[in-house]
Amino acid sequence: MITPAAFTAQIAHRFDEVDTHEWDTLSAGKPFQSARWYQFGERVLATCQPFYIIVSLSGKPVARGSFYLVRDEPLPIPPPAQTVLRQIMRRWPLLICRSPLSNSSGLLLPEGSLCQPARTRILAEAEKIALQQHCSFLLCDYIEAAETLQGWPAGYRSITVSGPGTWMPLEWPSFDAFLQARNKKGRQHYKRTVREGEKLGIRVQRRASVLDAESALALVRKVEQRHGAVSSPWSLELIKNLEDACGTFLEATINDRLVGCGLLFYDNDVQIATALGLKEDIPFVYFMLVYAGIQDAIEHHARILRWGSGAYAVKRRLGFRLETNNHSVYVAIQPFLRSLMALAG
């Protein structure tokens, strides 16, 4: 029986300390786990110190955990509490395991009997780092519901943290084929969207870079405010660095005035859409961006779309399904926090 002690652990503090070939071999084509994506993520998350823990068995890398020291995590709590929490996190930051900027887990584990001991070894190394860095909690997020039930060390707890994300398999060779596969009502909706958008003078373009990042960010913040979402501190850097990831900027304008936007990123044939921005009270912009995003994905030969949470009714009509990875597993690091949690039951 393989135990956690049978693994050797390597810890890298920057991605340039990692063997990229070994990294991609271990990733095995999984979306948003590639070396290219993590290098991009490290540039955007410049304020978050990374710790890449790679464990090997008999000299062969078999698992890894990607952790970030985060002092400004946008937690979904009321604004007055956010101010207090920011002060706490500056003193006792979070150590979070995730794939950067992709709503994906940072744990990459082998199947079968090696899974549990490999995870236990990774978490043991991560807890040492968390103690050294005076962290409040060690958190693994974007964990599948089924994976929260067993195999975690003693003291770890699970929580559902947000609405589920959405995904859709792409099965069409062209955008025209996608439209033809929709029912009559769906095709009519697309035609009406295009027709009414043209009447309003809305023009949607797909660009490889963002010319005015501040204007795009302002629209993103408007959407966050309307929906009561917590603003991400990394949105501006994400927008500015789009070109480094070969992403797509969806730009909706009326007379050269930006009225809508969104970012599309790709890794291992999967698209994610993020940073939606919309001017208030201009109809059809959202749907024009949605159709442009699907068309871009088909032209990139993507096999899956991942479009995050929210707008479930619209996405359901388009064929999206719900993800099940909106769970986190965590453990308190500081003794006083462990005592408080024990008292709270």
Q: Where do the domains of the chain lie, and which CATH numbers do they carry?
A: 4-162+325-344 (3.40.630.30), 166-322 (3.40.630.30)
- pLDDT for 344 equals 65
Could you tell me the pTM of the whole model? 0.94
- Structure tokens that stand for 5 in this block: 């002690």
Per DSSP, what are the bridge partners of residue 173?
Answer: none
> pLDDT by residue (tens digit) across 89-120?
889 999 999 999 999 999 999 999 999 999 99
Are 133 and 95 in contact, with CB atoms under 8 Å apart? yes
In the predicted structure, residue 78 carries a pLDDT above the cut 90: no
> pLDDT by residue (tens digit) across 116-139?
999 999 999 999 999 999 999 999
3-state secondary structure of 295: helix
The phi and psi torsions of 194 (rounded to 5 degrees) equal: -65, -45
What is d(CA 309, CA 19) in angstroms, rounded to the nearest whole number? 34
Are 341 and 332 in contact, with CB atoms under 8 Å apart? yes
- pLDDT for 228 equals 84
- pLDDT for 270 equals 98
> pLDDT by residue (tens digit) across 219-250?
999 999 998 888 899 999 999 999 999 999 99
What is d(CA 264, CA 217) in angstroms, rounded to the nearest whole number? 15
> pLDDT by residue (tens digit) across 12-22?
999 999 999 99
In DSSP notation, 142-179 reads EE-GGGGSSSPPTT-EEEE-S---EEEE---SSHHHHH
- Structure tokens that stand for 41 in this block: 């993520």
What is d(CA 33, CA 332) in angstroms, rounded to the nearest whole number? 27
> pLDDT by residue (tens digit) across 273-296?
999 999 998 999 999 999 999 999
Q: What is the mean pLDDT of residues 189-198?
A: 97
CB atoms within 10 A of CB 316: 13
Percent of the chain's residues with pLDDT above 90: 87
> pLDDT by residue (tens digit) across 307-321?
999 999 999 999 999
In DSSP notation, 65-111 reads EEEEEES----SS-HHHHHHHHHHHHHS-EEEE-BTTTTB-SEE--S
Percent of the chain's residues with pLDDT above 70: 98
